[in-house]
Each structure stands twice: as structure tokens, then as C-alpha cells.
Amino acid sequence: MATLEQCQQAVASLVERLADVDPDIRRKYAVERTLACRVPDLEVVFLARFEDDGTIGEVTVADAGTAQVRVAASSDDLIALIEGRLAAPTAWATGRLKIDASMFDLLKLRALL
């Protein structure tokens, strides 16, 4: 099981990667949404907000509340997903990744990643 600090570092690296995406592409695919990532084995939820211009606000540890896009994965799977060692479709198909979002949101986010 990964630690909270390892997950925070992985999420921070994902935010950095998204920030490196060409701004025109980010604007094309970005929509204003709240995103919650629940890590059940650590009993923590990372919460972030995507803005219309593709920027991501500060990632906080909070309650998922009414996030528009909600995902859940174990700490080890979250890190593997972010590092590219685990493909999201495979993780979803095998139940290692749970996603609660509209098809529109999924397609937009996939284009950014």
C-alpha cells in the first residue's frame, strides 16, 4: 500500500503534466468541473477544480461532496495509473478503477491526458 505522501506526489506530478499541455489544446478540451479522487485504502479524497481555461486549482484533501467527476482507486493503482504502468481502460474493466462521470466529461478529460 502506498503512503499518503506518495499519492500526493503522484497527483502533483499529474497536475504538472496537465499544466505542460499546450494551452490551446487545454482550452479546446477543458471544461469547468470539480474532480474528486477517492483512495479507499488511505481513507482520503483528493479534490481539484478544472477551470474553463484548462488550469487546475489547488489540489486539496477533502470530502468528495458534489464533485462532477468522481473516480476511486487504491493507492497503488492510483500511482500506477498516473505513472502510466496501468492503463485506465484495463483498470476500469477489471474493477480496479471506478468512475462516476458523464460520457462528455470522460471524453474531454481523456483528450487532455
**Number of neighbouring beta carbons within 10 Å of residue 46:** 23
What is the domain partition of the chain in residue ranges?
4-108
**Number of neighbouring beta carbons within 10 Å of residue 62:** 13
Residues near 104 by Cβ (< 8 Å), separated by ≥ 6? 31
The segment with the largest mean pLDDT, out of 4-13, 19-28, 43-52, 59-68, is 4-13
User: Exposed (0-12), middle (13-18) or buried (19+): which is 54, by Cβ within 10 Å?
Assistant: buried
- CA 56 – CA 49 distance, rounded (Å): 6
Give percent above pLDDT 90 in the chain: 44
50 vs 74, residue with greater confidence: 74
- CA 6 – CA 39 distance, rounded (Å): 12
**What is 4-108's CATH number?**
3.30.1050.10
pTM: 0.83
**Number of neighbouring beta carbons within 10 Å of residue 28:** 12
- CA 89 – CA 18 distance, rounded (Å): 19
Q: Over range 72-101, report the average pLDDT.
A: 94
The residue whose grid cell reads 477551470 is 51
Q: Over range 86-107, report the average pLDDT.
A: 90
